[in-house]
Structure 1
Amino acid sequence: MAKSDVTEYFKRTSMSWMIAITLAVGYFTCIVFAPEVIPYQHLGPYGTFCRHLVDNYADLMYKGWWAAFAIHVFEAAYSLKVCSNKGITSQSARLLWFVQTFLFGFASLGHLLKFDPKRSSKQE
């Protein structure tokens, strides 16, 4: 990888992670903000458990949702710092890392943390 490639480095997270995280966050969002749309009776023991959480711990679930949101914002901001530390200067690459990390959290940030620009430069 040439030096200029390091400045534009971006790696998309796997589709399986993207789907799993999207479904999990979407379900969590529905449980917190629109619990009436969830068909708990069709989900078996998991539905019973979720209904119990909604009925008895709605406030805690609400706070947990905002905590997860804050963590994703922090991870996305941290990805910009990591980009700077690793020499990724392309604004488009940095934006991609920020957005991907905000949406998919550590599934994205893990790729960025594993990236070693020194090793990539030696493979020219």
Structure 2
Amino acid sequence: MASSDGNDYFKRTSLFWVVTVTVAVGYFSFTVFAPEKIPFDHLGPFGSFCRYLVDNHADLMYKGWWAAFAVHVFEGIYALKVCRNKGISSPTTRFLWFFQTFLFGFASLGLLIKYDPKRLKKH
């Protein structure tokens, strides 16, 4: 079995976070950009709350969406810095970390931050 020096370490985030973040960001995006497509009446108190936000705070939600987008971009860029600091030098692997972190935020970045290349080399 070939051993790796850690320059290509990548771990996919859990399915739970993939589904949770995808649904949450998708719902938020639809609420901001296409609220007429959301059946607020069928979502109970949560739908009423979202309808209130759309009707009374659409501008704030729009700015919040772009803020969340900017945070995800920043997290992706920070993931590249963490890769460099941890010795992950493979361009493909660094791209995977950037892309996964951009899509799923801290659910991905947390995995990268937890990675300890020194511990891996002891085995």
* Superimposed CA distance per residue, residues 40-67 of structure 1 (whole angstroms, 9 cap, x where no aligned partner): 0000111000000000000000000000
* Superimposed CA distance per residue, residues 42-95 of structure 1 (whole angstroms, 9 cap, x where no aligned partner): 001110000000000000000000000000000000000000000000111101
The normalised TM-score by structure 1 is 0.96
Deviation at 1:3, TM superposition (A): 4.7
1:35-114 alignment to 2 at 5 Å? 35-114=35-114
Deviation at 1:2, TM superposition (A): 3.6
**Take 1:93 and 1:67, find their aligned partners in 2: how far apart are those partners?**
27
Counterpart of 1:18 in structure 2: which amino acid?
V
Counterpart of 2:16 in structure 1: which amino acid?
S
What is the match of residue 122 of structure 1? 122
**Take 2:4 and 2:19, find their aligned partners in 1: how far apart are those partners?**
33
What is the match of residue 10 of structure 2? 10
- What's the RMSD between the two structures over aligned residues? 1.0
**Take 2:105 and 2:3, find their aligned partners in 1: how far apart are those partners?**
28
**Take 1:41 and 1:32, find their aligned partners in 2: how far apart are those partners?**
17
Instruction: Could you tell me which runs of 5 or more consecutive residues in structure 1 were left unpaired when the two chains were aligned.
Output: none
Instruction: Could you tell me which runs of 5 or more consecutive residues in structure 2 were left unpaired when the two chains were aligned.
Output: none
Query: How high is the sequence identity, in percent, across the aligned residues?
Result: 66
Counterpart of 1:114 in structure 2: which amino acid?
K
The normalised TM-score by structure 2 is 0.97
- Relative contact order (alpha carbons < 8 A, sep ≥ 6): 1 or 2 greater? 1
